[in-house]
Amino acid sequence: MTDAVGSIDMPDAQDEAPDKKKARKGGKRGKKGPFGRLALFYRQIVAELRKVVWPTRSQLTTYTTVVIIFVVIMIGLVTVIDYGFSNLIKYVFG
């Protein structure tokens, strides 16, 4: 079948034969000392932090409010359950 590009019968590209060269040990990190690797690490951190989409002030306020309300509700729920269990234990064991 030759009418479709990349069909099962005729792939659009041949697989490359594996190279017989040996891979260099260490790559870029192999040449640098510990301070060079540390500098590379910090450059990579800065590059990743630039990709982050930071929330606006209003979004941050909304998220913080939602989390605080959720925590207060969970504290109340756990308190009520704990109070109920303690009364149940007092009733059962006297």
pLDDT digits 0-9 by tens, 31-56:
678 899 999 999 999 999 999 999 99
- Residue 69's closest CA among 81, 58, 77? 77
Q: Which two tokens stand for residue 62?
A: 């909304």
* Per-residue pLDDT band at 20 (split at 50, 70, 90): low
User: Who wins on pLDDT, 30 or 68?
Assistant: 68
Query: How much is the pLDDT for 8?
Result: 61
pTM metric for this prediction: 0.50
Using the predicted structure, report yes or no on whether residue 9 has a pLDDT greater than 70. Answer: no
Q: Can you list the alpha helix ranges (DSSP code H) found in the chain?
A: 27-31, 34-51, 57-93
* Per-residue pLDDT band at 94 (split at 50, 70, 90): confident
Interatomic CA distance for residues 69 and 49, integer angstroms: 29
Using the predicted structure, report yes or no on whether residue 93 has a pLDDT greater than 80. Answer: yes
Interatomic CA distance for residues 52 and 56, integer angstroms: 12
Using the predicted structure, report yes or no on whether residue 77 has a pLDDT greater than 80. Answer: yes
